[in-house]
A and B are shown apart, each in its own frame.
Chain A
Amino acid sequence: MKEKMTIIFFSGTMDKAIAMLTLATTAAAMDMDVTVFFTFWGLSFLKKGKKYSKKGLFQKMLEFMIPKRMDALPLSSLNMLGMGPWMMEKLMKKTKSPGIEELFEMAKELKVKFLACSTSCSVMGVDRENMIDEVQDIVGAASYIKEAREGKINLCI
């Protein structure tokens, strides 16, 4: 049986998403089964656009404030109202280092498993229809712990 690696993606920023995808794809390329569990701000990575219907006032406000999908994540420092990510993208294109979309395609090809945290989904009002198709399931903490218990490497990013 293959060894397992799990990652909790908590932060929902561009730089940390790149770190998460780099480690997930590399571990999968090293013959590990990789599961990424998206929770809290990390959920932004899985969203496809903004959706305001069927939401309470605070959920609508939250939806307005948080990124709409994985290519709109802020930087964890030097964000400078969006200037930071814009410059970082230019820099990465110039140096030809892999960006989020390219790494995500690789992760899919390597069969990395993507799970969304059920509580975060409920609190933020993110439902299955507003998430990318690659999300395998919406699960709770017990499902994550079950995977992590079998995990040889477990990270929180």
Chain B
Amino acid sequence: MDYDNKLDCVGLYCPLPIVKTKLEMENMSQGEVLRVTADDLGAKEDFPAWCSETGNELVGTEEIEGEFVFYIKKK
């Protein structure tokens, strides 16, 4: 999947992956896609929840060897 920017949150615990994603997306433009990788156990549920609460679109997810990958399109 294509993306404009990426953020590595592997090894970070809640709430850092969500907070860092939020701060990273503040520097992006509308419609751009951020690729986030995380391995916090809560990330699988937290990222879809964060997206639906903030209106950003979760356009894709992958799971690669215990790491979750999220593609988030900025609203």
Q: Which A residues fall within an 8 A CB radius of B?
A: 22, 25-26, 28-31, 95-98, 102-103, 106, 109-110
Decide if the interface of chain B is mainly helix, strand, loop or mixed: helix
The answer to whether B50 touches A98 (Cβ under 8 A) is no
Q: Which B residues fall within an 8 A CB radius of A?
A: 11-16, 18-19, 21-23, 50, 53-54
- The CA of A97 and the CA of B15, in the complex, are separated in Å by 9
The answer to whether A96 touches B50 (Cβ under 8 A) is no
Which single member of A30, A98, A102 contacts B54 (CB below 8 Å)?
A30
- The CA of A96 and the CA of B39, in the complex, are separated in Å by 13
Chain A residues closer than 8 Å to B22, beta-carbon distance: 28-30, 110
Which single member of B13, B19, B23 contacts A95 (CB below 8 Å)?
B13
**Can you list 28 residue pairs at the A/B interface with Cβ under 8 Å?**
A22-B15, A25-B19, A26-B14, A26-B15, A26-B18, A26-B19, A28-B19, A29-B18, A29-B19, A29-B21, A29-B22, A30-B18, A30-B22, A30-B50, A30-B54, A96-B13, A97-B13, A98-B12, A98-B13, A98-B15, A98-B16, A102-B16, A103-B15, A106-B16, A106-B19, A106-B23, A110-B19, A110-B22
